[in-house]
Structure formats: structure tokens, C-alpha cells
Amino acid sequence: MKKILLYALTVVFALITIAALVYFHARVRSVLPDESASAAFSSHYAFICRDPSDSFFQAVYQSAREAGEEAGVYVEFMGRDLPSAYTSEELMKVAMDASVDGIIVEADESGEMAERINAAVDAGIPVVTLGSDCTGSSRQSYVGVSFYTLGQMYGEEILRHSGETGGRILVLASPGETDSYQNIIYRGIQDTINRTGRSEEFSVEMLAVNDNVPFGAEESISGLFRREEHLPEDIVCLNELNTTCAFQALIDYNRVGESRIFGYYENSSILSAIRRGIVTATAVIDTDELGRSGVEALNEYLSDGYVNEYIPADIRMVDAGTLKEEGEDGDDAGVL
């Protein structure tokens, strides 16, 4: 019996010792860096947009990053988390000096942007424009929506919700923009109205929203709601910021119901405003598809030396009815 007890004690203490040593080893490994492993990426792409805090482009970047990881590519959000503020053009130069393998950029039609894109392409760095194009540059591809189609969709939504009555349609645009996309959207709206033969009933205007200065957008839109006794029947916002400012102004000035707002992008605030009937509808671009397409376009160009010049992105209008359907189907009606 005594012998059995000694054996049992040996086994018990030995097991405790081994368990303690195993835990010790695991603990040491957890605090020591893994010298053998290293981050291995085959390529490094730069992702550049005008406003790094824009949640739309943050969602696009997230998709781009995931698509990049799947392909062994690191997609860097240039300019984010840096102490200084950089313009897109400056970031383009930084990306070139950092010897990235490709650039995905929210471009514009400015001469400086075209110059930067051309310089990058000349230096052997392919460029894909995303969301908005720089048609005068030598960029390899453009990934985005057809702005004319977007304009048509806005026009159709306006016609659907206005019923038999016409009215003023106000398109909030950025002032001094040389971008033609706003004009193309405007043209799309106008043509859609005209095709119904109701051009007499509707008037389409554009208003410059001063979003180039801090808090300028909110000031401009608030001014509109303060100034005008009769608001336009339909207000079309072409970006997330203007959409948010517009529906908030309706609430603040207690003028909900006086104007239908057609916005751009979906986030929790805009969707909530749609459910409450403050925003009539919003144009939603599939940010996941946008981000992935941008990375895939660069991958394709780098591997094959060729890529489609235009890669369209899906766009759809979301209103209260759509949300209800998606909610009943159990879909997540949150931010894409």
C-alpha cells in the first residue's frame, strides 16, 4: 500500500510540474516577439481620398484592404493618422516617393490631379481612379458609378414621390468644382423629367454648398432653410455630408414635410431618417464592390498589363419601402 502511495504521489507531483512548465512555456512565448514570422506582402498599394474621415470611403477602404489581404497585397490608407493634413495631390507625391506598387485615388478633373496621375504612371506606378474620375489623365481604369445613370435614378425617384404635382428640384453641389460629375447628374435628372413630358411642371436648379471651408456645408444649408420661406419640393444631395446637414436642418427648423430629401450614401443616421420619413430616399453604392474592384483592377493590370478602362459599380435607391422589405426579410439594413 505504501508503495502504491509513493507511486501515486510521484505521478501527481510530476503531472503538476509538467503542467506548470507547459503554462510557463506558453506564457513566455506570449510575451516574446515571434522573430521567425514576418509580414509578407507581395505588393503595396496606396489608397487616397479627399476626406479620410468620410465614412463612405472608410467603408470602401475596408473592403479594399480585405481584398488586398486575400491577394497578399497591403493597401495603405494614405494620410490617415498622420499629424499633418495633406491634399490628394500631395499624397499622390508621397505615394510615388514611397515607391508603392499601385495607387487607388478618388480623383477629380483638376489639372494638378491629372499631372500627378501622369507622373505616377510615367514612373511605372499604375493608377486606378475610384468614385470620381480624372478623364484627362493616363489612369489605367476608373471604378465607379455612371453619374448620368445616377441622375436618372434621382429623377425617377423624384417623379415617383411627387405624384401629380411638380415643383422645384434643388441639387446641392460643391462650388468651384471643375468636376463634371455634378453636371452629369444634373443632366440625368433633367433628361428624366423631360422624357415624361413634364418639364413645365418641374424646375431643376443647382446650389453651391461651400464645403471647402470648415463647417461650410452646414452653414450653407442652414442658411437655405433660414432664408427661404418656401423650400424646394425636392432637394438632391450628392454626398453624405450634405445629406446629413439637410435632414438635420429640416428637424432643427421644424420644417419636416416641407421638402423631400434625396440623399447619397447610407449610414445609421440616414437610414433612421428614412424610417422616420425625414429623408425620402438615398442613393447607395455597394462600397464592398467598389473597394474590391479597385484592388482587383490594379492586380489585373500588374499581372496582365491590361485592365478594363471602366468598371461599373452597382447603385440602388433605398427608401422606406425598401428598408421595410429588407427588415422583413431579416437583412441588415445598416451601413454596407
Partner 1 sequence: MREFYKKLSVQNRVILTCIVTSILISLVNLYLFFNINRVIGRMGELYRTNVELKELSEGLSSVQASLTEFLNTKASDAMEDYFRNAQNYQELLEGLSFPGNDPDTAILGENIRNLSTSYLTYADAAVSARRGHIIERYMNDYASATGTYDAINDYLYRLNLQQFSINTENYNSLVGSFRYLELISVVVLFTLSAVNIVLIAMFTRNIMDPVRERELRMEAHIREAELKYLEAQIDPHFLFNTLNAGAQLAMMEDAEKTGEYIQRMGAFYRYKIHGGNAASTLEKEIELVDNYIYILNVRFSGSICFEKHCEEELLSVRLPDMVLQPIVENAVNHGIRNVEYPGRILLSVTKEGEAVRVSVSDNGVGMSAERIAEVLSGGAGRDEEKLTNGVGLHNVISRLELFYGKSDIMKIESPGEGGGTTVSLLLPIRTQEEEENHVSGHAGG
- What is the SS3 string spanning 178-210? CCCHHHHHHHHHHHHHHHCCCCCCEEEEEEECC
Query: C-alpha grid cell for residue 104?
Result: 487607388
Residues that bind partner 1 (CB under 8 A): 3, 6-7, 9-10, 13-14, 16-17, 20-21, 23-25, 27-28, 30-35, 37-39, 41, 44, 74, 76, 81-84, 86, 90, 93-94, 97-99
Least Cβ distance, residue 96 to partner 1 (angstroms): 8
Return phi, psi of residue 311, to 5°.
-120, 110
From edge to edge, which strands make up the β-sheet containing 315-319?
202-208, 167-173, 234-237, 260-264, 281-285, 315-319
27 vs 160, which CB is nearer to partner 1?
A: 27
37 vs 213, which CB is nearer to partner 1?
A: 37
125 vs 130, which CB is nearer to partner 1?
A: 125
* Distance separating alpha carbons of residues 91 and 47, to the nearest angstrom: 9
Contact 120, 103 (CB under 8 A): yes
* Distance separating alpha carbons of residues 140 and 297, to the nearest angstrom: 9
Least Cβ distance, residue 87 to partner 1 (angstroms): 12
Sign of CA dihedral 109, 111, 112, 116: positive
79 vs 263, which CB is nearer to partner 1?
A: 79
11 vs 208, which CB is nearer to partner 1?
A: 11
Least Cβ distance, residue 308 to partner 1 (angstroms): 28
Least Cβ distance, residue 255 to partner 1 (angstroms): 44
Least Cβ distance, residue 51 to partner 1 (angstroms): 18
72 vs 334, which CB is nearer to partner 1?
A: 72
* Distance separating alpha carbons of residues 46 and 196, to the nearest angstrom: 45
* Distance separating alpha carbons of residues 197 and 269, to the nearest angstrom: 36
Least Cβ distance, residue 14 to partner 1 (angstroms): 5
Helix (H, G, I), strand (E, B) or coil at 333: coil
DSSP string spanning 249-272? HHHHTT-TTSSEEEEES--HHHHH
* Distance separating alpha carbons of residues 263 and 241, to the nearest angstrom: 9
Task: State the burial class of residue 210 (Cβ atoms within 10 Å of its Cβ: 0-12, 13-18, 19+).
Answer: middle
Least Cβ distance, residue 33 to partner 1 (angstroms): 4
Least Cβ distance, residue 127 to partner 1 (angstroms): 18
Query: C-alpha grid cell for residue 71?
Result: 491577394
Query: C-alpha grid cell for residue 41?
Result: 506582402
Query: Among candidates 82, 56, 87, which has minimal Cα distance to 264?
Result: 56
91 vs 246, which CB is nearer to partner 1?
A: 91
2 vs 227, which CB is nearer to partner 1?
A: 2
